[in-house]
Amino acid sequence: MSPAYLSCAYLAPVQYYCKLFHHAAVCIEAYENYPKQTYRNRCVIAGANGPITLSIPVEKTDAPKCLTRDIRISEHGNWRHLHWNAIVSSYNTSPFFEYYADDFIPFYERGSYRFLFDFDEDLRRLVCRLLDMETEASYTASYIYNVSNDFREGIRPRHPAEDRSFAACPYYQVFAQKLGFIPNLSIVDLLFNMGPESVCVLRDGLASDD
């Protein structure tokens, strides 16, 4: 099977990690022109009153286009503190939050990362390690059009492309009794609620007709 092409993503949704689980190798795009309003700098978690979008502010560039790998994180608005507080508020009663929380705290210390790409990728590596996923990951050396298994633009918060290979698999969520099951949230929703059994959800996220 050819590798899956993915963008970088901030605590990417379950759909993204299903690609990591079901492909032996993935290629992370580093040479695209940075698009706004995508999972590259945002994730969606479940709060007591519904989904919450957490967005990382990035520095504006003088050029009309900038490579994703060159996008710098802005420290505007104390976002690290706000994001971590939102995550704690949403998941501190989940079954596995205390087990994994210390692994994530360093990412929310001020100034720990300058570039969004590095921040996203180290979070991805952490999640893969916590889930014992051994997917081989490489990086593009230039932007290549018309590749197989191209999910670089399809996995997005607004108007996602049809993905016949993904089937959202319900799992335990803290607020499900109030909100119902919310599919395709950030991987931390799955991780904090299901712990090591998260890989079973990722396994079952492959559509039966694929």
Q: Read out DSSP for 184-202?
A: S-BHHHHHHHHGGGHHHHH
- Which structure tokens are listed for 172? 């335990």
In a domain, 33, yes or no: yes
In a domain, 161, yes or no: yes
In a domain, 208, yes or no: no
- For tokens 């996995």, the residue is 155
pLDDT in tens, the chain (210 residues): 689 999 999 999 999 999 999 999 999 999 999 999 999 999 999 999 999 999 999 998 877 789 999 999 998 889 999 999 999 999 999 999 999 999 999 999 877 799 999 999 999 999 999 999 988 999 999 999 999 999 999 999 988 888 888 999 999 999 999 999 999 999 999 999 999 999 999 999 887 543
Based on DSSP, count helices (H) and strands (E) in the chain, helices before strands.
7, 5
Domain count along the chain: 1
In a domain, 210, yes or no: no
Pairwise CA distance, residues 21 & 6, whole Å:
13
CA distances (Å), origin 115, targets 40, 41, 187, 195: 12, 11, 21, 29
In a domain, 45, yes or no: yes
Domain residues for the domain of 84 are: 4-203
In a domain, 209, yes or no: no
In a domain, 119, yes or no: yes
In a domain, 160, yes or no: yes
